[in-house]
Amino acid sequence: MILHYLKIAFRNLWKYKTQSLTGIFGLAFGLACFVPALYWLRYETSYDSFYPNSEHIYRVYSVEKESGKVNEQVPGILERKLHEHFPATETSACFVIWNGNYSAEGTPHIRLRTLYADSAFFCIFPQQFITGDARQPMQIEHNIILTETTAVRLFGDAEKAIGQPIKSKQFSDSYPPFRVSAVIKDPPHNTNIPFEVIHFPVLQNQMTVYMPEQAQWTYFNRQMYVRLNAHTDVETLAVQLCDFTSQLEANPNIELRMLPIGNVRHRLNTDLPFTLGFIRLFVAAGLLLIFSAFFNFLNLHLDLFRQRLRELRQRMISGATAWQIILQMMFELICSIFLALLLAWCFVVLTLPMF
């Protein structure tokens, strides 16, 4: 019976191909426009959500009281002070990201995005190790960690990279070359913390050691993330943190703010060419388009059924019941929708990598 209905459905679709194909392609186009827009929204709102307990990870940044200017960096001394005064901060990570110049055997010059951090970074942002020392990769001061793509680019293979020397052109010649202690998976593209190299910030740490404490509060050079206890009252903590530097009489000119890691991309990054509101508007426009295409699709099929009234009456005269006629009409409608979904899926699969 199903095979019989299928044969009749495709025969009628071919007989009235102009109306049928118009409805099918219109619905497929609506779906093909809506799905990438929805994917875009999902991608932009999933930044760093792949890290464990990401819902409890917050970015700490500063705001100038007088001008309201946002400073994404915080003083390095803040990390120790937060742990002393706010037990809710289970762990924290302070680091610096910038483009560093390196040289390796066979590669006299290469520019890599470098993350200067200590082992506390892995407590909040655990990485997937491919080879090397996964337990204490930063135990020795001059150890360096490479991403898989960087290791293959420099040494041809992740395994061969272990123990290899890399010279940093940012440091003086008095420092020995760094040694690759581990290779990790490349971070996903949807992250606020992109990097190609991780190593311990030798010079930054030495500079702050000899700085007076009061001067360190004016030296904004670190990105800071904290992971809070699951039972922390975040709103109360945010209020207490706001005026924390004034209470310490350290730097009364700034306020400290917290932002969930998932909101950093569109709340703290001002260089983006689009806002989250624009993407949501794009999704809403796609939703309107798909509804319009669907109603157009239904109208075309209703008109098609009206053109076939004579055929349907003849079938009832020949013995077909009203239920069989309705079932056949619904089957033809489902076949058309299935074809539209198939076309939309093919279009999305082909264009999504480019999108």
Does 216 map to a domain?
yes
Does 8 map to a domain?
yes
Mark whether 117 and 134 lie in a shared domain: yes
Of residues 175, 226, 235, the one with CA closest to residue 203: 175
Mark whether 181 and 247 lie in a shared domain: yes
Kindly state the percentage of the chain with pLDDT values over 90.
21
Mark whether 202 and 263 lie in a shared domain: yes
Highest mean pLDDT (candidates 21-35, 158-172, 277-291): 277-291
Domain limits for position 151:
55-267
Mark whether 169 and 253 lie in a shared domain: yes
Dump pLDDT digits (tens) for 85-98. Answer: 888 888 999 998 98
Tokens of 174: 């008095």
CA distance 221 to 206: 14
The pTM assigned to this predicted structure is 0.79
Of residues 58, 62, 90, the one with CA closest to residue 76: 62
Mark whether 109 and 220 lie in a shared domain: yes
Does 49 map to a domain?
no
Average pLDDT over residues 24-29: 84
Dump pLDDT digits (tens) for 200-253. Answer: 765 455 555 567 777 788 888 889 999 998 888 999 999 989 888 888 888 888
Tell me the pLDDT band of 194, cut-offs 50, 70 and 90.
very high
Does 115 map to a domain?
yes
Partners of 60 in beta bridges:
224, 258
Mark whether 315 and 189 lie in a shared domain: no
CA distance 335 to 305: 15
Does 142 map to a domain?
yes
Q: Collect contacts of 64-69 with beta carbons under 8 A, ≥24 apart.
A: 64/253, 64/254, 65/252, 65/253, 65/254, 65/255, 66/253
Q: Which of 267, 289, 307 is the last residue of a domain?
A: 267
Mark whether 253 and 280 lie in a shared domain: no
Does 129 map to a domain?
yes
Dump pLDDT digits (tens) for 243-292. Answer: 888 888 888 888 999 999 989 988 887 677 788 888 999 899 989 998 88
Q: Which of 208, 234, 267 is the last residue of a domain?
A: 267
Mark whether 90 and 68 lie in a shared domain: yes
Does 206 map to a domain?
yes
Highest mean pLDDT (candidates 94-103, 330-339, 344-353): 94-103
Mark whether 262 and 338 lie in a shared domain: no
Which residues 6+ apart lie within 8 Å of 151 measured at CB? 157, 158, 160, 161, 180, 183
Mark whether 98 and 160 lie in a shared domain: yes
Burial (CB count <10 Å: 0-12, 13-18, 19+), residue 326: exposed
Does 342 map to a domain?
yes
Tokens of 50: 């792949």
Q: Which of 249, 267, 285 is the last residue of a domain?
A: 267
Mark whether 261 and 330 lie in a shared domain: no
Dump pLDDT digits (tens) for 66-83. Answer: 888 888 889 888 888 888
